[in-house]
Copies of this chain bind each other. A is one copy, B any other.
Amino acid sequence: MAASVDELRSLAEALLRQRGVPADGARLQADLLIEAELRGHPSHGLQRLPRLIARIGNGVASATARGRHTWRGDAVLEVDGERGLGPVVITAAIDALAERVEQTGVVLAAIANANHIGMLAPYAEAAAERGLIAILLSTSEALVHPHGGTRAMLGTNPIAVAVPTAGHPFVLDLATSTVSMGKVHHHALRGEPLPEGWAVDAAGRATTDAEAAKSGAIAPFGGAKGYGLGLAIELIVAALTGANLAPDIRGTLDAEHVANKGDVVILVEPAAAPGLAARISAYLDAVRASPPADPDHPVAIPGDGMRARREAAHRRGIDVPPRLLAELRELEAA
């Protein structure tokens, strides 16, 4: 049964405020979890909330920190997240960047010591709606094996890109793994086998057994190239933030450890060429209208599906597993 978006948002906000999160921070964190639900990524949605609340209780997440800002050069913002909530810390950083970008044209934030920022797309999209090109990178616990390897050595290391157009911004948000570990857990829960090539088990053997894959590793997307991209993101984030590398990263999937991954945001002002945004929109429409391989499936632009899911979910509400909803309501009563 679908729950109303407003009701879920209020519930999430109330839970966070009860744990000492100020109203605006609670709103940002709740929004981010709801946005992931709306966009069809429940692995980054409300199921993360009970753990986040436990993290605040355990002192590894701060209810109030917004991050300490130090400019390293005129255009690089070094952010010590002070264990703050991911969306709170990154939003404060992006606001500081957006103010500075008018002077420098390009700005970069290197964020360490913040909690999980969640899905990257909403931040990138919001920046593009302000007229900026946005690139976001983030690291995580080791979950992905190298191409030709069998042990989890890399994070799922997502990249998001948003570019302003004459209409909706172009928004890309992808993990550099074939699938998320959340999806593997989802298959395990339902007793469904995994497609071949998704994962290996703890001994490093290729497996379609979702339960066995949970303690194994996920394949990088796109073979050697996707692996290379994931590794590049791993290194860029570590080199810019001083944060840990995947095998030493903790704190986005547990309730006990300080989150020691890193996040990077790059914002750039587009060229002032006249008609540029309209030219980009016309190009994207031409790609959409180009001949599909299967006449029943027109060519899609990244973000189109997400936008459609988001609009439908706003109308229909969000399907939250009854057990999760009960857990959240119990936490509220506690």
Contact check, B300 vs A148: say whether CB atoms are below 8 A apart: yes
From B174, B242, B247, B283, A225 is in contact (CB under 8 Å) with: B174
- Fill in one digit per residue for A218-244: 1 if any B CB lies within 8 Å of its CB, else 0: 000111111111011011101111100
Any chain B CB within 8 A of the CB of A110?
yes
* A269–B73 CA distance with the chains assembled, in angstroms: 9
* A228–B175 CA distance with the chains assembled, in angstroms: 11
* A232–B221 CA distance with the chains assembled, in angstroms: 17
* A292–B200 CA distance with the chains assembled, in angstroms: 12
Q: Point out the residues of chain B lying under 8 angstroms from A228, CB to CB.
A: 172, 174, 302
From B74, B227, B242, B276, A75 is in contact (CB under 8 Å) with: B74
Q: Point out the residues of chain B lying under 8 angstroms from A35, CB to CB.
A: none
Q: A225-B226, A231-B301, A235-B170 are in contact. Are A293 and B149 (CB under 8 A)?
A: yes
Q: Within A80-101, which residues are at the interface with B (CB < 8 Å)?
A: 101
Q: Point out the residues of chain B lying under 8 angstroms from A224, CB to CB.
A: 302
Closest-CB distance, A127 to chain B (whole angstroms): 13
Any chain B CB within 8 A of the CB of A291?
yes
Size of interface on A: residues with Cβ below 8 Å to B: 82
Q: Within A118-139, which residues are at the interface with B (CB < 8 Å)?
A: 133, 135
Any chain B CB within 8 A of the CB of A59?
no
Q: Within A219-275, which residues are at the interface with B (CB < 8 Å)?
A: 221-229, 231-232, 234-236, 238-242, 245, 247, 266, 268-273
Contact check, B269 vs A72: say whether CB atoms are below 8 A apart: yes
* A240–B301 CA distance with the chains assembled, in angstroms: 20
Closest-CB distance, A277 to chain B (whole angstroms): 8
Contact check, A73 vs B225: say whether CB atoms are below 8 A apart: no
Any chain B CB within 8 A of the CB of A326?
no
Contact check, B149 vs A287: say whether CB atoms are below 8 A apart: yes
Interface residue SS majority, chain A: mixed
Contact check, A276 vs B238: say whether CB atoms are below 8 A apart: yes
Q: Point out the residues of chain B lying under 8 angstroms from A287, CB to CB.
A: 146, 149, 153-154, 231
Any chain B CB within 8 A of the CB of A104?
yes
Q: Within A40-96, which residues are at the interface with B (CB < 8 Å)?
A: 71-76, 78
Q: Point out the residues of chain B lying under 8 angstroms from A266, CB to CB.
A: 106, 266
Any chain B CB within 8 A of the CB of A163?
yes
Contact check, A148 vs B269: say whether CB atoms are below 8 A apart: no
Any chain B CB within 8 A of the CB of A294?
yes
- Fill in one digit per residue for A186-207: 1 if any B CB lies within 8 Å of its CB, else 0: 0000000000000000001010
Closest-CB distance, A152 to chain B (whole angstroms): 9
Q: A76-B269, A240-B271, A242-B273 are in contact. Are A150 and B290 (CB under 8 A)?
A: yes
7 pairs of A and B residues whose beta carbons are closest in the complex: A222-B222, A73-B105, A76-B105, A242-B273, A161-B232, A228-B302, A149-B299
